[in-house]
Every structure is written in C-alpha cells, then in structure tokens.
Amino acid sequence: MKNILKKSNQKASSNNLELVVIPRNAPDGLRVWAQWYFDHAVTTTERSQKEQHRDIDLFLRFMELTEKTDARQKWTPRLSEAFKSHLKNALLEDGSRQWSDRTINRVIAHLKTFSKWVHGLRPFLLDNPMAKIKAIPVTNSLEIERALTASERRRMLDAADLLLQTGGLSKSRRRYAGEKARPRRKGYRPYRNRAIIYTLIETGMRRRAVTSINLVDVDYEKRKITVEEKGGIRHAYQISKEGVAAILDFVKNEWDADNDKWQSPALFLSTYTNPHGNGRLTVKVINQVWDDVCKVAGVEGKTPHSARHAMGRYIIEKTGNVAAVQRQLGHKNAAYSLQYARITDEELNVVLDER
C-alpha cells in the first residue's frame, strides 16, 4: 500500500496539503478504508458527510451480509451491480419501494467517488468496481406533475393565514361549549407556522434550507433570504412581498419569546416549552407544519418539495427564461431548470382536446 495520502484543504490554498502516513501492515477491509477516506479525503460539510457515511455503510452492510466479509478485493463490478439491483427491488411492508431512483443514484454517486479514491491508492484486481455502474435514468415529468397547482397554492396560503385565528385551538367543543372562544394550546406558534408555509411557497426553498435560515439571513428591503444549501453553498432566494410580511409578522409577535430560552441565531425556533434540541427546527417539524396546513386546505399528495416545483413552473410560465429558474432555485446544472419548460400530460391533453 502507498504509505502517504493527501488531503486538500478546501478552505485554504490549493498548495496547502496535509500529508497523512498510513501503516503498511494496516487491515485491508473496506470499513478501515472508509474511515481513512473520511479522515483524509472528504472535505464537504458535516451534513454532507453524514449522508455519505449512510450511503457507504449501506453498501458495506450489504457486502457483509452477502459475502460475509468486507475484504477490499471482494468488491467487484458484479457485487456493485448486485447491490444496485438490491436497492431497486427492496420493498417496504406496504409494498412500496424502499429507495427511490433518485436516492439510488445518490448512493451510486457516493460509492463511485469512494471506489475511485481507493482504486487510486491500491488498485482492485478486477479494476474499479464502480466504474461501469450507471445511474438510473430519472424522468422529470412525474416530478413536475407533483407541483402545487395555482389553485392549491391559493388554498395553502389561505389556510396558512387562517392559522392566526384557528391554529392550535382546543378540539374539545363540549369542554368549552359555554365559552366564546376555545383556548389555544400552550406552545403553539401560528405566526411561525404561517411564515414557514409562505417561505416554502414564495421562494421554492428546500425544507432543509428552511431549517438553516438565520435571523440575519433575511433582507427585508431587498426581499432576499440567503441560506446554506446542499454542499455548504450559500444561495440567495428572492421572496414575494407577502412572504416577507409573513416573516416579519412572526419575528415581531413570537420570535423573542422563544429566543429568550434558546439564544439561537435561527429564524424558525422551537417553542420554549420544548425540553429537547438546540432551538433550531428539524425537517420533521417542517413536514408536520406542511401536512397540518394541507389538511385545512384540502390539498392531498403534495409535499414541501411540491412548492419548489411550483416555483419553477411559475417562473418559466411568466418569463420563459430557464436562467431565471436556475437563479431562483440555485440549480448548478441548467438541465434541472430546463425540466420546468416541459409540458405535463394533463396540459398536453388540454391542448389536443382544443383542436
């Protein structure tokens, strides 16, 4: 084995390299190699590294189950293909697929990077085991058809506005039959939840990014929210006047009460009654807020990511400019933005029926 690995420091100059000595008699198992990989080669954000850890560990557990070992030379192209087939065919108890095509492609991408790094230091006998493994072709039409429609968007925003009046109220009508208004449960945050919905719909921001927004990230005058996205890259989203107003209402009415406990830079905070966490909301809470508003709005089968697709469709319909979509949604590859210029099956049917 080569006894020196090089790790470049992305935050320093390209000439600043850290030399790491690896013992020649070290074990040749892939779990050891994975540890070296993360210690000496991976320089992405902590969040990204956790995702890579999960994906590589998923393969290693499959290998240990099928091959009864994690020996490096047992990793062959055929084993990689078997793992890909395993991911494609794995089902949950309800019969649905355990991993989507996009998730499988992400796992494949992480394994390709890992295997290439290992192969460069100590070549596999049968060549790089991931070199010829191809990603699964993913069609974009299904994703676009999951976008919020204009009607659903209006209903979602109306339901979000209604939270200020009815959100979090006790559901026991009998218990409070003689009172003018039912009490709101302790810790419920109608202004916060309303602002979350507006942020998702009026920016097209990913739900993970919503949890990463800090109070100082919001520029009310320029109507811009700058937030850390996937890969640690900061991206600026424009937001509508209504969206900015919803955030400002939340900050004025609720933010201080919870920040007195958490002393956190986060914009969207957990309620002070929450005994756990660090104050910053999780993706799970964002999903819960979204699902609650969907029930009130009568919107079914749509996720927070549906708001992102809706933003892409809206911009392309208004401007016809793919670059405008790319700028708002922060796509590195314009091909992702180009998908919003495609027509859905329903729209195509309407066109054909109008002849």
Summarised one tens digit per residue, pLDDT across range 147-167 is: 899 999 999 999 999 999 888
Q: Render pLDDT for 272-330 as a digit per residue (tens, 0 to 9).
A: 999 888 999 999 999 999 999 999 999 999 999 999 999 999 999 899 898 999 999 99
Same domain, 225 and 299: yes
- The reply to whether 77 and 148 lie within a common domain is no
> Do residues 159 and 76 share a domain?
no
Question: Which pLDDT band, with edges at 50, 70 and 90, does 5 fall under?
Answer: low
CA distances from 312 to 237, 282, 291, 334, 341 (A): 13, 25, 21, 12, 9
For 170, phi then psi, to 5°, come to -60, 140
User: What gap in Å lies between CA 11 and CA 28, rounded to an integer?
Assistant: 31
For residue range 70-95, what is the model confidence (pLDDT) as tens digits? Answer: 999 999 999 999 999 999 988 877 66
**Same-domain pairing of 108 and 146:** no
Assigned domain for 51 exists:
yes
Contact 183, 348 (CB under 8 A): no
Decide if 341 is inside a domain: yes
The string of DSSP letters for 47-92 reads HHHHHHHHHHHHHHHHHHHHHS--BGGG--HHHHHHHHHHHHH-B-
Distance CA 104, CA 354 (A): 40
**Domain identity same for 158 and 269:** yes
**Domain-located, residue 132:** no
Task: Please tell me the total count of domains within the chain.
Answer: 2
Same domain, 114 and 189: no
Look at residue 173 and tell me if it is in a domain. Answer: no
Q: Is residue 109 part of a domain?
A: yes
CA torsion, points 205, 206, 208, 210, in degrees to nearest 10? 20
- Is the domain of 205 the same as that of 333? yes
Residue 343 within any structural domain of the chain: yes
Kindly state whether residues 208 and 332 are assigned to the same domain: yes
Residues 82 and 155 in one domain: no
**Judgement on whether residues 330 and 199 belong to the same structural domain of the protein:** yes
Kindly report the backbone phi and psi dihedral angles of residue 237, in degrees, each rounded to the nearest multiple of 5, phi listed first: -100, 135
The verdict on residue 176 lying in a domain is no
Q: Which domain holds residue 324?
A: 141-167+183-353
CATH number, domain of 244, equals 1.10.443.10
Nearest Cα residue to 76 out of 93, 96, 59, 100: 59
Return the half-sphere exposure (C-beta side, CA atoms, 13 A cut-off) of residue 308: 18
- In this predicted model, what pLDDT tens digit does every residue of 91-142 receive, in sequence order? 877 666 888 888 999 999 999 999 999 998 889 999 999 999 998 876 545 4
pLDDT of 181 above 70? no
Asked if 205 and 82 sit in the same domain, the reply is no
Q: Are residues 282 and 190 in the same domain?
A: yes
Residue 171 pLDDT exceeds 50: yes
User: CA 305, CA 290: separation in Å to the nearest integer?
Assistant: 10
